[in-house]
Amino acid sequence: MMRELWKPCSEKIAKLGLSVYGSMSFDVEIKAVPPNYLMDKLDEWIQTQLPNLFWKDELGSGSIGLMDMEPLQSLLKTDSVMVSGTKIQTLLSGTYRRFANYIQTLSMKFAGNPRYLDECDQAILFRWESASHTAINKKARSILKRLADATAQLPEDRAGVVHIGFEALENSEVEHLRYKKIIETAATFDPKDKPLSYLYCHYLVPESPLDECWAYDETTQWIKMSETVPMPIKNCFLVIPESEDTREGVHWSMGA
């Protein structure tokens, strides 16, 4: 739906030969945004003939303006740059944002490896997020079905544990709500005839930051489901090795 809203804007900007960066934080679900909303903002900006347009209304807040191509073009004098990824998004937007939603259009020349580019003379980049409570609630999906399916696989004659892992690539509001939902689900969950002792939920967060090839955050939320069984494992992580340094708390509490 976001691509459909932005596509006419991108096509118009491309015909004008401009390099443009836009961003929008919606306070409503995307499906509630009028089809011409972003195009109207683009036309308003063009009519002002100002470098940038900023706005805030009942649908959210946003901006659109001319893009500084110098950081990307300066780097391309000595290096190839991956066509899509955190590097080019940071060069074009001016800021590294973890797990941001981008729609990108480039006029470019591929490098020998088509995953990279050697030249770029026009770029159109749009960043968006939906900050509406309804959208956040939907993204913080319940684990009830997964918990029920996993518990059904446990034997009846011995204590069992359930591990549920999921990519946690949303913002802190989503993960905070998901965390609360998991506690509520565990408190009311009926394992029936299965001796479920512990529930481990693994928030898996792969990342491609600018200063290293890759990085990984994992938050494990463990919940004791039975009072009779001691905690069976010391290392609660599925991905992060036991030799790595860890800390108490959740990854999204540090601005992730």
CB 164 within 8 A of CB 146: yes
Closest C-alpha to 37, from 6, 10, 11: 6
DSSP secondary structure, 235-253, as one string: ---SSS-TTS---SS-GGG
User: Degrees (nearest 5) of the Cα angle 234, 238, 242?
Assistant: 50
pLDDT of residue 256: 39
Given a contact cutoff of 8 angstroms between Cβ atoms, the answer to whether 87 and 116 are in contact is no
Mean pLDDT of the chain: 92
At 77, is the secondary structure helix, strand, or coil? Answer: coil
CA 10 to CA 20: how far, in whole Å?
Answer: 9
pLDDT tens digits along 119-155: 999 999 999 998 888 888 888 888 999 999 999 999 9
Copy the structure tokens of residue 27.
Answer: 């306070």
pLDDT tens-digit profile of 88-117? 999 999 999 888 899 999 999 999 999 999
- pLDDT value at position 254? 60
Task: Decide if pLDDT at 201 tops 80.
Answer: yes
- Whether residue 50 has pLDDT greater than 90: yes
CA separation for the pair 95, 74 (Å, rounded): 17
